[in-house]
Chains A and B, each alone.
Chain A
């Protein structure tokens, strides 16, 4: 198992190195080169020369790359030149990251906690009205664009019904204590329960919008997988042994049926950022997605670079977690 994890880690380190090389070359290839990328196009000639020297752009390419790796590894991406001009790009990222993690975690939790049980339930009652209804629901979940769903949710539940807040992460008048930057967690840690509850209320609508696609995909994979597994000979054996339906469901059906679902959850988590860009915009939610949208618009390359690296890192970590979970469930991988 340990060997398995180490091998995975090495593979993933390789992925990150390749990505950094691509980013490095991309910056070189931009009009105006690395300097324009970092300072923006309207920088003064003196500032340009200063930076050129600092970066050592007169040195051989591999030295430049090595310096670049060193800067990236220490979180030194240069100052933002658009999203929050003047602030360090890495700091911009750090200030936005917890918001999106909070949002994505809740979205995936919603998708998993509803998708898997409903998928199992629908498969076991195949062709019943509840099966047909949830299959239809999942089709809608995939087909409706996330931003449209976000607008609808906001319009009905925030604007019309006034059940939940329209935008933001927390009511600014709360004046809550900040500890980690995860607002719900902060509220719990400081026992400011009203602050935690308020932050959670701000999360619900955007998380629902963001959960729609992962929910639909997880539901469908679970349903299809359970339908496959219940036809397997070993499930017939389990029945021939007279086991209780609880054991048959957990040990014999779900443990096998969840293997493809675990992979799907990983892929969907990795893909959340795309949905977060739109959702965060609709709800004026100050997270990574919103920063990414602005950074692309105003060509804030330092910030863009941090975000791309961060997205890759998240992807790598999620994949590692998926692989480990998979190996825990499936001995055929673990003992190979």
Chain B
């Protein structure tokens, strides 16, 4: 048999590994502001990420995607919120780690990239140093050695003329290039988990596809597990092995990519899929957005939050809380799922 590259073999082993890399258990985030009702942004979420796997978190604006990822990273503000549950990373509960232990892991074992590449880079520090500093911190490299690796990283993420770009400041780069630089920063220490929070939303449509392809290639090559956060099911379709659909702080459906797209069972997932622009839809023909808004939500504690907007809603949906149940390899939270194949 011919020699396979080390990347491919880690990735293969990783893909078929049994032990999850990340186990999120009953994660709950409550915001408390003085003089305001406590607000539950994330309401008991469970999901796993296996090594090398790409998992999607999908849902409308405000459903708790960013709060979930910030809670995993330990980046929520120190005051004004409560985080409950467990975030097991390689068996260690990150939520129980001290500040400095968590700081040692961030950027090294788990990394994150954010939505807006311009505001996420420091405007007064050269891009090269912004890559190098994370290597200095976690790999104990000298400035010189870190710069050499930083240059390699810029090259790897497809930034042309990396020697010159090392000295550039963020304002001298294009939006796509900045996001590439942020990916270089995140992957510099070869983390085992990367969280990408809407990494393409702020970019031009043509650049979006390039960045997604780059991410896909890089995680495949390095065996990094990826949590892909998006409100765009189109992004999920090309990238994710498994997809979690969130609604109002809870997971309402989880399935592998193909079954989810071929036969969505939750009415909310179904609605999201129907609102994706399809090629065969003629111009001027209206898409089917989900009616209503999150402002209509019912409380999960006594109902299905989605009921006021749901085409399948029954009497029971307004009176009881649907539970997340396993159903032929997928998880589903619904009293009256969609039956027909699309």
A234 and B75 contacting across the interface, CB-CB below 8 Å:
no
User: Which listed segment binds B: A27-35, A84-92, A250-258, A291-299?
Assistant: A250-258
Mark A residues whose CB is within 8 Å of B. 232-234, 236-244, 247, 251-252, 255-256, 259, 329-332, 335
Q: Which of B116-169 contact A (CB under 8 A)?
A: 116, 119-126, 133-134, 137-138, 169
Q: Which of B89-123 contact A (CB under 8 A)?
A: 102-108, 111-112, 114, 116, 119-123
Inside 8 A of B102's CB, which chain A residues have their CB?
242
Q: A237-B120, A247-B133, A252-B122 are in contact. Are A242 and B169 (CB under 8 A)?
A: no
A240 and B111 contacting across the interface, CB-CB below 8 Å:
yes
Q: Is B171 an interface residue (CB 8 A)?
A: yes
Inside 8 A of A247's CB, which chain B residues have their CB?
133, 137
Inside 8 A of A243's CB, which chain B residues have their CB?
103, 107, 133-134, 137
Within the complex, the shortest CB–CB distance from B178 to chain A, in Å, comes to: 11
Inside 8 A of B104's CB, which chain A residues have their CB?
242
Inside 8 A of B119's CB, which chain A residues have their CB?
232-234
A331 and B171 contacting across the interface, CB-CB below 8 Å:
yes
B171 and A332 contacting across the interface, CB-CB below 8 Å:
yes
Among residues of A, the one whose C-beta sits closest to the C-beta of B118 is A233
Q: A234-B122, A234-B123 are in contact. Are A332 and B169 (CB under 8 A)?
A: yes
A–B pairs, 21, beta carbons within 8 Å: A234-B119, A236-B120, A237-B114, A237-B122, A237-B185, A240-B75, A241-B107, A241-B111, A241-B185, A242-B138, A243-B133, A244-B137, A247-B133, A251-B133, A252-B125, A255-B122, A255-B125, A256-B123, A330-B123, A331-B126, A335-B169
Inside 8 A of B260's CB, which chain A residues have their CB?
none
Inside 8 A of A241's CB, which chain B residues have their CB?
106-107, 111, 133-134, 137, 185
Question: For the complex, would chain A's binding face be called helix, strand, loop or mixed by DSSP majority?
Answer: helix
Within the complex, the shortest CB–CB distance from B184 to chain A, in Å, comes to: 12
Residue among A233, A236, A238, A242 with most chain B CB within 10 A: A242
Among residues of B, the one whose C-beta sits closest to the C-beta of A244 is B137
Q: Is B182 an interface residue (CB 8 A)?
A: yes
Inside 8 A of A234's CB, which chain B residues have their CB?
119-123
Q: Is B73 an interface residue (CB 8 A)?
A: yes
Within the complex, the shortest CB–CB distance from A235 to chain B, in Å, comes to: 8
Among residues of B, the one whose C-beta sits closest to the C-beta of A329 is B124
Among residues of A, the one whose C-beta sits closest to the C-beta of B169 is A331
Within the complex, the shortest CB–CB distance from A330 to chain B, in Å, comes to: 6
Inside 8 A of B288's CB, which chain A residues have their CB?
none
Within the complex, the shortest CB–CB distance from A319 to chain B, in Å, comes to: 21
Within the complex, the shortest CB–CB distance from A100 to chain B, in Å, comes to: 34
A255 and B124 contacting across the interface, CB-CB below 8 Å:
yes
Q: Is B213 an interface residue (CB 8 A)?
A: no
Partner of B122, one of A238, A239, A242, A259: A238
Inside 8 A of A330's CB, which chain B residues have their CB?
123-124
Within the complex, the shortest CB–CB distance from A50 to chain B, in Å, comes to: 61
B120 and A233 contacting across the interface, CB-CB below 8 Å:
yes
Within the complex, the shortest CB–CB distance from A241 to chain B, in Å, comes to: 4
A239 and B106 contacting across the interface, CB-CB below 8 Å:
yes
